[in-house]
Amino acid sequence: MEENKVPRRKKNRHGSPEVSMMKTIQGKIIIMAIGMVMFFAFLIFRTWTIMRDNGERYKKRVLEQQKYDSRAIPYQRGAILDRNGTLLAYSERVYNVVLDSSMALNDPDAIEATLNGVSATLGFEKDVVREYIKDHPESQYHILGTVTYDQRQEYETYIENYNATVKEENKNRETKLPGINAKSVWFEDQFRRTYPGGTLASDAIGFTTADGRGQYGLEEYYDDVLTGRNGREYGYLTAENALERTVVPPENGYTLVTTLDSYIQRVCEEKLKAYDEEHAGEFRENEMGADNTGVIVMDIHSGEILAMASYPFYDLNDPRDLSMYSDIQIDQLARMGGWSDEEPAEGESETEEERETKEERDAREESRLEKARQNLWKNFCISQSYEPGSVCKTFTVAAALDAGVIHDGDSFDCRGYLTFGEGSKATTIRCHQRYGDGVITLKQAVEKSCNVALMLIGQKLGKENFLKYQRNFNFGLRTNIDLAGEMRTASLVFNKNNMGITELMTSTFGQGFNVTMIQNISAYASLVNGGYYYQPHMVKQIKDSGGAVVQNIEPTIVRQVVSESVSRLMIDYCIGVVDEGTGTRARPAGYRIGGKTGTAERSGQGKRDYTVSFMGFAPANDPQIAIYVVIDRPNTASQENGTRNACILCKDILTEILPYLHIFMTEPLTAAERKELEEKGLKDTTALNSISENSISENEASAPVPMEEKPDIRVLIDDKTGYAIDPLNGEYLDPETGVPINGDSSIFQDENGNSIEIEVLKDEESEKPDPRE
Amino acid sequence: MEEAVKTKKHRRRRRAGDPVVLPDLVILGALFGLMIIGAVMIYSTTSYTSDLNNQSQFLKKQLLAEFLGLVAIAGIYLLPYNTIKWVGGRPMRLILLFGSLLSVFLLKTPLGKTVKGATRWIVIGPMQVQPAEIVKIAILIYIAGFIAEKKEFINTRTGFFHALAVTGLSAGLVYKISNNLSSALIIGGIGVLMIFASTKDWAKQIIGYALIIVLGVWFMISKAHSAQAAGQVDTLKFRYKRILVWEDPTNPDFYYEGAFQTLQGLYAIGSGGVFGKGIGKGIQKLDKIPEVHNDMIYSAICEETGLIGAVVVMLLLGTMVVRCFQLALKARDTYGMLLCTGVMLHIAIQTILNVMVVTNTMPNTGVSLPFISYGGSSALFLMAEVGLVLRVGRYSSR
């Protein structure tokens, strides 16, 4: 259509510079195009030669250098529960905050915003993080710290909101604001061991190190059970050389259901703490109420430990923290742990002190703190031995009765001292009643804790028998309780070869040999439960992480140590001790219990140092639990005060835990006792007793009765609803677990019983509409 | 067609110059093929390392730039030829060149943006542009306009050195200010070869350039070698180190001097084999090859689609080059012919440099693969150049 135009133009330009130039260009670009196409062909050839010459080698190399991204997935360490399912220890999922400096520097404008987010929500110092990025620009993995799930959530919402705001704002801005670079700070799964009770049962539970190994107590003893296996996420190559990913899930550790009862445990610890607060600095200034104070509460029909506490405590969540103790108390702790204060005396070695460098002083201080910590972590109840004193008289008497060398009703003449041996070897040991107890019966000998009578019994019993029974009561052997760090006492008791007459005589009243608390109470439980020695234990069930039972740990009877008739006599004698003997102060109001006091001189510690104790059982008519209170080196002026304090401590504990255990009052209350109970917010439970007795007689056939069945619950059933009623406060209980149905007013949270009623009332009030409104 | 001609619109167009016909389908086809391959490979190489909730963030940006590129092609294609000529004419080509060089200077202002130690972007509102890419298209238009206007002047000494000086100045500025050797090489290559194409002389220029290249390469290599022999590699600038890397990429001493990238790229190519590992199944892209979605995308193509994919890509790029050449031959005036030649040179030089770098045929320097590599400004301006070629083709097709 435009043909007429084209030739004209061509004609116009024929022979012009334009045409000649175009010809030149055409000639040149043909060569160029050919050259380029050849170059392209050469590059394809080059690519092919790389594949041909190095293909196989490079294929291998590519696969070799893949790390297969093998990533460990941490396992969750098993929890530790008390007998009612309350958490004592568990592993909480937390997150390591990982800083990737090189990623952050990729986007330098965003660093400031990112740091703001990190410091606002995760609480890390902005300047510290900025410095780190500056100093380590290549670093891709630096753990800033650990945060909880909530903090992580907060941070992630922060980023989201911030970036959304910035995006919105940037729409109307010339220079764009940077958002947060979410890749420069990321999170890595981790678990943190948490102890909700803090100091609760610290000595029994133990703690875990940062790398997840258990230290002390249950954590160490059951370390392999609690420990799981890390999972792994990794890549591997299939037959077709393709990279596949796979995940081996982690195996979580097993959960321990302990025999501890956190309520009883808490009561014990509160009383220990109260004792310490009352007596700290009483005799020796600024020191604690005693070097060590320990309580064990045990179910005598199974060997289950209901509570095991020893003061001083420590915080399981921060076991290295000593801030709750004063410097002098730390000194005291360190000294007990074997630290000797080698501060050079002033004056003579002043120059020497000057020469002591700062490092040396620091090292010394650190060793002092470390000694103090180690002593703090040690479980006094199982890891420290002492001379038990008079509480062991019960074992001597039981042994002699069981061996048939003495009988109930035998009488002994105490003149205040006893001399034995002949000639130059003659030794005289005094009774603590300087002028003698006179002629007393066997029962009175126990009640009055008469040393002379016990030595006479010892003479009748003889060395061989004494040692045999001592061995039967497990002294000198470990009880094999399932806790780490139980002390060996084999060398701390006498044997045939090193026991002379003096040793035998002192041993009859508990001096000269060493025991641990757990040995003593386990043996004592066998005296009052019919003569059966149970192996004490802390864990009754092991469950997997899904809640399925892996193992039930049943009570183990090791042997019968004394006959049932001897056991009955011992119960009677021990009741006598509390009724009219040395232990009257240990009786909780409204109850009748049995027990035995003990005061032992601490050998090698000077005259003023004693170990005082009370070991008892309750209730008198049907012993269920044994309790053992030991105050090691009480901070009191006299021995009598110390012994009295052990009794009072025991009474305070029993007063609160007996109603909780559904053991009701049997004894009439005096006016003073009523007032005392009122002050403590406890009720007279005598009325409930008739029901309780019925239930016990029903179940007598199947003794020993396990504590947890709490037979009286079944009897106290509300007719209308069919729920069980808690006799303490009238709340409905879940028939299976025994936990109050009205969730928040738990008896675990309240030791007085008082406020529970108030809570119930409150609930009713809130439900009723106020007519005035 | 008959009906279309009758419309008013068309009559107006006819008056303005030439009719709107279908643009060259071979070029368009090759362009779309390359864009699709590019999009797939960019997604394949970036989705793994991107944010989980935004795996296609790179792809989206690239597609946006390519969409703008298509708009540019359409716009340029519909412009009157006189306008195209006007751009290459006396005031405009100067304004364009100075403008582009000014944009290079903008890198030294706060508008400049630094990524990984190199300031190569300027930020204008929501866009980031590489001034070097603007200079490429500007020098192409400038040289074409200059030569076409002055005709025989280029064959005079003054004319020749004028054009050469402009080229050298532009390349030198880009090299000096943005420290970008590869862009400088491309700018220089386009200018020098366009001048060479328009001059009658063969031997003098070939010998001259060959001499300069040989001497330059010999100088650099010997400098690098002498430093290596003296054990003073650390004192060398990175360009010289890269020569040593090129000679022996497996030398662990140069691991952080770019050897890692080169070596991992070679591993990717070698392990791909003839048929490749399958699209998306490459391993090397996973944190192994730096800039795998950008300068090193050819290695990912080789790994995932093998030699076959590489050949397809080279064929498509070759088609573009050959088609530009054909349209240059058919062009009706020197200006159009030189425009097509320039675009042909641009695509070809950039492709050759890129593949040579990735296959370690020359020392490492950052060049993107035309129409495939990730990079908005590169794609946008290359497509604008394609628009120019198509417009020249439309002019000569009447």
- Domain ranges in chain A are 71-257, 686-767
Per the structure block, which two tokens stand in for A213? 């190994």
What is the average per-residue pLDDT within B51-72? 88
What is the average per-residue pLDDT within A586-613? 81
**Contact between residue A216 and residue A206 where contact means Cβ atoms under 8 Å apart:** yes
Verify whether the Cβ–Cβ distance B310 to A59 is below 8 Å. Answer: no
What is the least distance, in Å, from the CA of B133 to any CA of chain A? 22
Parent domain of B71: 24-78+237-398
Which pLDDT belongs to residue B207?
95
B357 or A241, greater pLDDT: B357
| Same structural domain, B105 and B70 | no
**Of A308, A301, A293, which is closest to residue A625 (Cα–Cα)?**
A301
CA distances from residue B71 to A187, B60, B67, B76, B384 in whole angstroms, order as listed: 44, 17, 6, 9, 9
Per the structure block, which two tokens stand in for A244? 């596949």
Q: Which residues are CB-contacts of A374 (< 8 A; sequence separation ≥ 6)? A: A337
Encode pLDDT of A20-77 as tens digits. 889 999 999 999 999 999 999 999 999 999 999 888 888 888 877 765 556 778 889 9
| Chain A residues close to B51, C-beta within 8 Å | 182-183
* First-to-final CA distance of chain B: 14
Residues above pLDDT 90, as percent of chain A: 35
| Same structural domain, B258 and B396 | yes
| Same structural domain, B95 and B191 | yes
- Domain assignment of residue B19, yes or no: no
What is the least distance, in Å, from the CA of A328 to any CA of chain B? 57
A196/A90 Cα distance (integer angstroms) = 8
Encode pLDDT of A472-504 as tens digits. 999 999 999 999 989 998 888 998 888 888 889
| Chain B residues close to A59, C-beta within 8 Å | 270-271, 273
Q: Which residue of B has its CA nearest to A44?
A: B311
**Contact between residue B386 and residue B73 where contact means Cβ atoms under 8 Å apart:** yes
Per the structure block, which two tokens stand in for B65? 């730039």
- Domain assignment of residue B227, yes or no: no
* First-to-final CA distance of chain A: 99
Verify whether the Cβ–Cβ distance A58 to B266 is below 8 Å. Answer: yes
CA distances from residue B189 to A13, B151, B185, B299 in whole angstroms, order as listed: 31, 21, 6, 24
Which pLDDT belongs to residue B48?
72
| Same structural domain, B103 and B51 | no
| Same structural domain, B150 and B299 | no
**Is residue B244's pLDDT more than 70?**
yes
Mutation target vs B (from A58, A64, A160, A171; most B CBs, 10 A cutoff):
A58
Helical residues (DSSP H) of chain B, grouped into ranges: 2-6, 8-16, 25-46, 57-78, 81-88, 90-105, 131-150, 157-178, 181-198, 203-229, 238-247, 259-272, 297-330, 334-358, 376-396
Encode pLDDT of A705-714 as tens digits. 444 444 443 4
**Is residue A750's pLDDT more than 70?**
no
Q: How confident is the model at residue A772 (pLDDT cuts 50, 70, 90)?
A: very low
**Is residue A241's pLDDT more than 60?**
no
Give the closest of B266, B328, B351 to A29, CB-based. B328
B18 or A509, greater pLDDT: A509
List B residues 293-322 in contact with A (Cβ-Cβ < 8 A).
302, 306-307, 310-311, 314, 317-318, 321-322
Residue A485 burial class via C-beta count within 10 angstroms: exposed 0-12, middle 13-18, buried 19 and up? middle
A69 or A430, greater pLDDT: A430
Q: Say how many CB pairs under 8 Å bridge A and B.
A: 139
**Is residue A730's pLDDT more than 90?**
no
| Same structural domain, B260 and B382 | yes
Which pLDDT belongs to residue A761?
37
| Same structural domain, B253 and B382 | yes
A701 or A526, greater pLDDT: A526
Helical residues (DSSP H) of A280-392, grouped into ranges: 327-336, 350-355, 358-377, 380-383
Which pLDDT belongs to residue A688?
72
Residues above pLDDT 70, as percent of chain A: 81
| Same structural domain, B180 and B115 | yes
Encode pLDDT of A431-464 as tens digits. 877 788 889 999 999 998 888 999 999 999 999 9
| Same structural domain, B254 and B394 | yes
**Is residue A550's pLDDT more than 60?**
yes
- Domain assignment of residue B38, yes or no: yes
- Domain assignment of residue B286, yes or no: yes
- Domain assignment of residue B193, yes or no: yes
For helices B297-330 and A17-64, angle between their N-to-C axes, nearest 10 degrees: 170
Verify whether the Cβ–Cβ distance B321 to A182 is below 8 Å. Answer: no
Among A123-137, A253-267, A329-343, B333-347, which is the least confidently predicted range? A329-343
**Is residue A577's pLDDT more than 70?**
yes
Q: How confident is the model at residue A722 (pLDDT cuts 50, 70, 90)?
A: low
Mean pLDDT, all residues of chain A: 81
| Same structural domain, B321 and B369 | yes
Phi and psi, residue A590, nearest 5°: 90, -5
Determine the topology of domain A71-257 in CATH: Penicillin-binding protein 2a (Domain 2) (3.90.1310)
Q: Which of B176, B201, B226 lies at the terminal end of a domain, its last residue?
A: B201
**Contact between residue A522 and residue A533 where contact means Cβ atoms under 8 Å apart:** yes
Encode pLDDT of B171-202 as tens digits. 999 999 988 899 999 999 999 999 999 999 89
Which pLDDT belongs to residue A573?
93
Which pLDDT belongs to residue A752?
47
Give the closest of B271, B356, B361 to A55, CB-based. B271
**Of A303, A255, A483, which is closest to residue A377 (Cα–Cα)?**
A483
Q: Computed over its alpha carbons, how large is the radius of gyration of chain B?
A: 22
Interface list for chain A against chain B, based on CB atoms closer than 8 Å: 1-2, 6, 9, 17-18, 21-22, 24-26, 28-30, 32-33, 36-37, 39-40, 43-44, 46-48, 50-51, 53-55, 57-59, 61-63, 65-66, 106, 174, 176, 182-183, 242-243
Q: Which of B201, B227, B246 lies at the terminal end of a domain, its last residue?
A: B201
**ipTM of model:** 0.93
Encode pLDDT of B88-136 as tens digits. 998 999 999 999 999 999 888 888 887 766 778 888 777 788 999 999 9
Which pLDDT belongs to residue B212?
95
B398/B391 Cα distance (integer angstroms) = 12
List B residues 43-62 in contact with A (Cβ-Cβ < 8 A).
51
Which pLDDT belongs to residue B87?
93
Among A262-276, A671-685, A747-761, B207-221, which is the least confidently predicted range? A747-761
Residues facing A257 on adjacent strands: A81, A541
Among A140-149, A408-417, B296-305, which is the least confidently predicted range? A140-149
Encode pLDDT of B308-366 as tens digits. 999 999 999 999 999 999 999 999 999 999 999 999 999 999 999 999 999 999 998 88
Which pLDDT belongs to residue B20?
77
- Domain assignment of residue B213, yes or no: no
Q: Does B237 contact chain A (CB < 8 Å)?
A: no
Verify whether the Cβ–Cβ distance B328 to A63 is below 8 Å. Answer: no
Give the closest of B125, B273, B325 to A33, CB-based. B325
B326 or A718, greater pLDDT: B326
Mutation target vs B (from A62, A69, A238; most B CBs, 10 A cutoff):
A62
Helix H or strand E encompassing B292:
none
pTM: 0.59
| Same structural domain, B64 and B180 | no
- Domain assignment of residue B208, yes or no: no
Q: Which of B157, B183, B201 lies at the terminal end of a domain, its last residue?
A: B201
Which pLDDT belongs to residue A286?
81
Domains of chain B: total = 2
Verify whether the Cβ–Cβ distance A21 to B151 is below 8 Å. Answer: yes
Which pLDDT belongs to residue A173?
74
**Is residue A12's pLDDT more than 60?**
no
**Is residue B249's pLDDT more than 70?**
yes
Verify whether the Cβ–Cβ distance B341 to A29 is below 8 Å. Answer: yes
| Same structural domain, B276 and B127 | no
Q: How confident is the model at residue A354 (pLDDT cuts 50, 70, 90)?
A: low
